[in-house]
Amino acid sequence: MQIVTGKTDSVPASVAATADWQQALKSAVREPDELIDRLQLPARYLAPARQAAREFPVFAPLDFIRRMEPGNPHDPLLRQVLPLDLELSPGEKDRKDPLEEASAIQTPGLLQKYAGRALLIAAGACAIHCRYCFRRHFPYQEAPRSLAAWQPALQMLADDPSLDEVLLSGGDPLTLVDSQLGALMSQIAGIEHICRLRIHTRLPIVIPERVTDELLANLKGNRLTMFVVVHANHPAEIDDRVGVGLRRLLDQGITVLNQAVLLKGVNDSLDALVGLSRQLINLGVVPYYLHQLDHVAGASHFEVPVSQGRQLVKTMREHLPGYAVPRYVVEKPGGSSKEVIS
């Protein structure tokens, strides 16, 4: 990955923007001690956080941390990134690969779970480590890391005319620099039967500077119909700067959807879910999915019972227009689609 360092007054604005988001990645908090110190949390959080972080390291951009309330260990944004002792006692149903994605790998970096669509693991890195992530144990080191290494996956896409949509996922595909992302997107656009490209990313939420002019040019610069699926779980994640970045995507005519995960201690309340939907629709972003938590090892403490989730979504309908209520879904290993719960 190309790293741009430093920033001077003489560099063009677009290069400065690239430097900004890459600098934000470089300066992200990686140590549980620093996270706990910055949030002024009691010392009792230290030992379990250090232990749980050995399994899945801490990674939290400063910009995201600034949106948390210091001194509050229950802050809904902090809960998403703080390793807890609860991670150390996995539940009975927990799995390292809860969706059995290993069996969906067609060739390194290419997964096909559903008809007509295929998913490229475009990057192994993320801009944040979400403790509940269903891919927290994914073998990213086996996925391709360069355009040359993606060729077998791209060839498989080209050889299968039943596919008309490609998802870029990861990790987070927007951790790729724009030149690399643009080259990959151009190759996909060169496959005649692919009509749509969907990018699953949390970067516009956690580091809004990632919505650079180059990124917008890449997204608009080929014939594919483009969807960007962002991931925010709580209204406090969407501040003014995030709103500006999302609007920049929307202003290009790109469809922007949000998916959230229903998480105990984060958004398992009517206020949080309704607030999130309102924030999204006020910007023009569609609340698309609310996922039931996958049974990934180390995250069972985030689980909200389905009966409670169903009730929450039912009540959301009494407070929001229909288009603002996300589909509440669960993914089952080997299923031919996601299952709609409500």
CB of 339 to ligand SF4, least distance (A): 20
Query: Quick check: 130 binds ligand SF4 (CB under 6 A)?
Result: yes
CB of 203 to ligand SF4, least distance (A): 8
Give the three-state DSSP class for 318: coil
Query: Quick check: 119 binds ligand SF4 (CB under 6 A)?
Result: no
| Number of Cβ atoms within 10 Å of the Cβ of 177 | 19
State which residue, 249 or 293, has the beta carbon closest to ligand SF4. Answer: 293
For residue 267, what are the contacts with CB-CB under 8 A and spacing of at least 6? 76, 233, 234, 260, 273, 276
| Region from 158-166, 168-176, 181-189, 333-341 binding ligand SF4, contact rule CB under 6 A | 168-176
At position 195, the amino acid (one-letter code) is C
Cis omega before residue 171 (within 30°)? Answer: yes
At position 12, the amino acid (one-letter code) is P
| Region from 9-17, 125-133, 252-260, 286-294 binding ligand SF4, contact rule CB under 6 A | 125-133
Continuous segment of H or E residues that includes residue 213: helix 213-220
Continuous segment of H or E residues that includes residue 220: helix 213-220
Phi, psi of 282 (to 5 degrees): -65, -30
State which residue, 29 or 126, has the beta carbon closest to ligand SF4. Answer: 126
State which residue, 191 or 230, has the beta carbon closest to ligand SF4. Answer: 230
Query: Quick check: 135 binds ligand SF4 (CB under 6 A)?
Result: yes
Query: Quick check: 202 binds ligand SF4 (CB under 6 A)?
Result: yes
Q: Which of 41, 68, 120, 133 is in the footprint of ligand SF4 by CB under 6 A?
A: 133
State which residue, 191 or 261, has the beta carbon closest to ligand SF4. Answer: 261
Query: Quick check: 126 binds ligand SF4 (CB under 6 A)?
Result: yes
For residue 82, what are the contacts with CB-CB under 8 A and spacing of at least 6? 32, 35, 36, 39, 41, 45, 49, 58, 73, 131
Instruction: Considering only residues 1 through 20, tell me which ones interact with ligand SF4, judged by CB under 6 A.
Output: none
Query: Quick check: 25 binds ligand SF4 (CB under 6 A)?
Result: no
CB of 49 to ligand SF4, least distance (A): 17
Where on the chain is the footprint of ligand SF4 (CB under 6 A)?
126, 128-130, 133, 135, 170-172, 202, 231
